[in-house]
Amino acid sequence: MSVKWIDGGVTAPQGFRAAGIHVGVKTHNPDKRDLALIASDAECGAAAVFTKNIVKAAPVLVTREHLANGKLRAVIANSGNANACAPNGETNARNMCEAAAAALGISADDVAVASTGVIGQELPAEKITSAVPELARALSYDGSADAAAAIMTTDTVKKEFALEVQIGGKTVKIGGIAKGSGMIHPNMGTMLAFVTTDCAVSGGMLSALVKSAAGESFNRISVDGDTSTNDTCIVLANGLACNAEITEPGADCELLGDALRALCVRLATAMAADGEGATHLVTCTVSNAETEDKAETIAKSVISSSLVKAAFFGADANWGRILCAMGYSGADFDPERVDVAFRSAAGAVAVCASGRGLPFDEARAKTILTEHDVEVLIDLHEQTAPGECGECTCWGCDMTYDYVKINGDYRT
């Protein structure tokens, strides 16, 4: 697959507008944009994945209802308040949908709603609904950056990407914005991701592709081991690229799936790199496993380990913590076959072979691990099962003093 990365985020595909404005959801941040809207000129096929936390925020429940027919036209989202475990939660979520629908001249059932921020406090819905007409007037075919800014909470950078790919002789564009910095863990995290495409694709195929893409991106990152109540990834497809509709598996479906996965991985790794207080993006690749599932289980365990995270903060080549995290992952493997190495732009160093430590230059290892982007390379030396790739990559970050500072007074 050959994709071209382009500008534009969620408004890169044809027929999508977006906006983000300040309405004062979080009163002590008077300048931040905190309300976003994404709207399509045409009806969209839609699919989504949500948090696996048993405790689900009201917007998740309402959006799942509105997605029952596989169709949407718009997404409204706020930051600063999660509307989770909060008084009048579902009423306020529905009111947001109704306000957006009225401003856009569509049905409330065609609007998805999402929220992120503090849990347990009532959403100041009146501030939001009264500002929706202004928000709708601000919609623009180049408004993706404002929408991306409006969904940020503790994020330090906007997550906004787009690409184009040739499908069925047509140029298909896919764009996305996301937020996520803390409370991030496999099975989704405190993350919102909104993806748009002008590809023509059936609802059934889109749903399958979204689940697959999320499984290989958002569900393979971890910042702190906490799975949120609000996680939502929604994909809208309006078909304006005018390609032959993708209704079954085949070459075109594979191209769309690969492109969607590439975009989601870009958004997911941006979230891991922007973990609260983080100074390193940690990429862990497990190879030569019997199955991909085993490789994923082990890689997730490594990037989720607090001790591994702390070692990367100190640029300490403490590979024993990696084997320890592998050992309690629940995956069955032979420690006597395991090789471990570290790699970054500064070079690579092997630290473990056949489950035993290797002599290595500590100063050189520290130089390698001082880079922002560092990799853990784990080789299980197993025979791959038929039909399996036996490899998986997951992404995390280090754990720093600032993580505790940020979360020590997050609510107040």
Q: Are residues 255 and 351 in the same domain?
A: no
Q: What is the pLDDT of residues 44-67, one digit of tens each?
A: 999 999 987 888 999 999 999 999
Q: Are residues 303 and 239 in the same domain?
A: no
Give the pLDDT confidence score for residue 400 in this predicted structure: 76
Q: Are residues 36 and 121 in the same domain?
A: yes
Residue 44 and residue 50 in contact, taking contact as beta carbons nearer than 8 Å: no
Give the pLDDT confidence score for residue 148 in this predicted structure: 97
Q: Are residues 16 and 125 in the same domain?
A: yes
Q: What is the pLDDT of residues 153-163, one digit of tens each?
A: 878 889 999 99
Averaged over 117-140, what is the pLDDT? 96
Q: Are residues 228 and 369 in the same domain?
A: no
Mean pLDDT lowest among 235-249, 337-351, 374-388: 374-388
Give the pLDDT confidence score for residue 46 in this predicted structure: 97
Q: Are residues 92 and 43 in the same domain?
A: yes
Q: Are residues 333 and 187 in the same domain?
A: no
Mean pLDDT lowest among 9-13, 26-30, 343-347, 370-374: 26-30
What's the CA gap between 346 and 364, in Å, rounded? 9
**Domain boundary, last residue among 257, 273, 289:** 273
What's the CA gap between 176 and 144, in Å, rounded? 9
Domain that holds residue 333: 281-408
Averaged over 73-102, what is the pLDDT? 97
Q: Are residues 268 and 287 in the same domain?
A: no
**Domain boundary, last residue among 273, 301, 320:** 273
- Of 42, 43, 59, nearest in space to 51 by CA: 59
Residue with tokens 């107040």: 412
Averaged over 239-266, what is the pLDDT? 97
Q: Are residues 334 and 385 in the same domain?
A: yes
Q: What is the pLDDT of residues 353-362, one digit of tens each?
A: 999 999 999 9
The band of 1, judged by pLDDT with boundaries at 50, 70 and 90, is: low
CA angle 368/373/376 to nearest 5° reads 70
What burial class does residue 28 get, using C-beta atoms within 10 Å of its C-beta: 0-12 exposed, 13-18 middle, 19+ buried? Answer: exposed
- For the cut 90, the answer to whether the pLDDT of residue 36 exceeds it is yes
Domain count, the chain: 2
Q: Are residues 38 and 139 in the same domain?
A: yes
76 versus 53: which is more confidently predicted? 76
What's the CA gap between 300 and 339, in Å, rounded? 17
Q: What is the pLDDT of residues 250-262, one digit of tens each?
A: 999 999 999 999 9
Give the pLDDT confidence score for residue 207 in this predicted structure: 95
What's the CA gap between 11 and 146, in Å, rounded? 11
**Domain boundary, last residue among 216, 249, 273:** 273
- Of 64, 50, 75, nearest in space to 194 by CA: 75
Q: Which among 129, 190, 227, 285 is annotated as catalytic?
A: 190
Average pLDDT, the chain: 92
> At 109, which CATH number?
3.60.70.12
Q: Are residues 310 and 222 in the same domain?
A: no
272 versus 128: which is more confidently predicted? 128
Residue ranges of E strands in 291-371:
339-344, 347-353, 356-357
269 an active-site residue?
Answer: no
Q: Are residues 114 and 246 in the same domain?
A: yes
242 versus 2: which is more confidently predicted? 242
Does pTM surpass 0.85?
Answer: yes
> At 302, which CATH number?
3.10.20.340
Q: What is the pLDDT of residues 169-183, one digit of tens each?
A: 999 999 999 997 654
